[in-house]
Amino acid sequence: MDSAEPRQLFAPTLEQLEKAFRRLEMRVPPPKRKPWKDSFVFRYVEQTIQQAIVQKLARTITGLRAIDVLLERGLFQEQGILQRTLDEIEEDIVFLSSAIINNDMTELHREYLEYFYAEEFDDPADIAASHSSRGMVRRGKIRAYINKTQGSSESRANTVEKILTKAYSGFVHAASPHIMDMCGGEPPRFDVSCEFSGLRKASQENDALNYFYRALLSMAFGAKALGDEELFSSIRAAASQFESRMETIRQ
């Protein structure tokens, strides 16, 4: 089957996602200007869990757009980095949304939001002195909560997620086995100008389909959490349709 077919799903899916996002964006108090140096920055002053979900969904969409661009240029190592990022963003959306959907706001969620909204610098006049390291909730705790609320087999799900995380982390940290995927030709040399990208383009586009599909599911979680049942049903239907088309492409 023509390797261009997977990308035919990208543009309409991005359009659906952005339309849904704009609808959810309007359901939370808007950002406000906060003075910064001689100008300003935008911040959500309420720092709610709903606003955190909206922000994560925004990065989901831009991440997918970046993957599309990287695929076009044959930059598959960088695609892997972004997919690793989107893995965590998706987990964050499910983690945060589940707290609202299940009426189960835990101390873990409160800790996550505290770190999420923490500023990198306290004093714009003295950036070096006012820098503070942002804390993090351990990824394993987030996954454990998700697996518990989603009814997954916790040990098996955690094992699978750790394997996927480690696999894509090789792109983030530039591990040797991942870098060697750039090698080809005779004599072998590193393809730093994407001359051989056509050899792997079909498989990389196929891989990217998973992230577009999962973005629809993330948007559905967000819609449910923000109380938009109509949008939730619409996006769930879109995800089912996408899944069917994805299976057809892969046959």
- SS3 string, the chain, reads CCCCCHHHHHHHHHHHHHHHHHHHHCCCCCCEEEEECCEEEEECCCCCHHHHHHHHHHHHHHHHHHHHHHHHHCCHHHHHHHHHHHHHHHHHHHHHHHHHHCCCCCHHHHHHHHHHHCCCECCCCCHHHHECCCCCCCHHHHHHHHHHHHCCCHHHHHHHHHHHHHHHHHHHCCCHHHHHHHEECCCCEECCCCCCHHHCHHHHHHHHHHHHHHHHHHHHHHHHHCCCHHHHHHHHHHHHHHHHHHHHHHC
Average pLDDT over residues 171-177: 94
**For residue 198, what pLDDT is reported?**
82
Give the pLDDT confidence score for residue 250 in this predicted structure: 82
222 touches 26 (CB < 8 A) = no
Q: Is 133's pLDDT higher than 90?
A: no
Residue 1, token pair as written in the block = 């089957």
Q: What is the pLDDT of residue 165?
A: 67
pLDDT of residue 6: 83
User: Is the confidence at residue 242, as pLDDT, over 70?
Assistant: yes
Comparison of pLDDT for 114 and 201, the residue scoring more = 114
Q: How high is the pLDDT of residue 199?
A: 82
User: Has residue 162 got a pLDDT over 90?
Assistant: no
Per domain, the residue ranges of the chain are 6-250
pLDDT-derived band at 154, boundaries 50, 70, 90: very low
Pick 249 or 114 by higher pLDDT.
114
Confidence category of residue 3, pLDDT binned at 50, 70, 90: very low
Overall average pLDDT of the 172-182 stretch: 94
pLDDT > 70: percent of the chain: 88
Q: What confidence category does residue 1 fall into, taking pLDDT thresholds of 50, 70 and 90?
A: very low
The pLDDT tens digits of the residues spanning 180-213 come to 999 988 899 999 999 888 888 889 999 999 999 9
Please report which confidence band the pLDDT of residue 4 belongs to, taking 50, 70 and 90 as the band edges.
very low
141 pLDDT higher than 90: yes
pLDDT mean across residues, the chain: 90
pLDDT digits (tens, 9 = 90+) for 216-233: 999 999 999 999 999 999
Using one digit for the tens of pLDDT, what is the confidence trace for 40-59?
Answer: 999 999 999 999 999 999 99
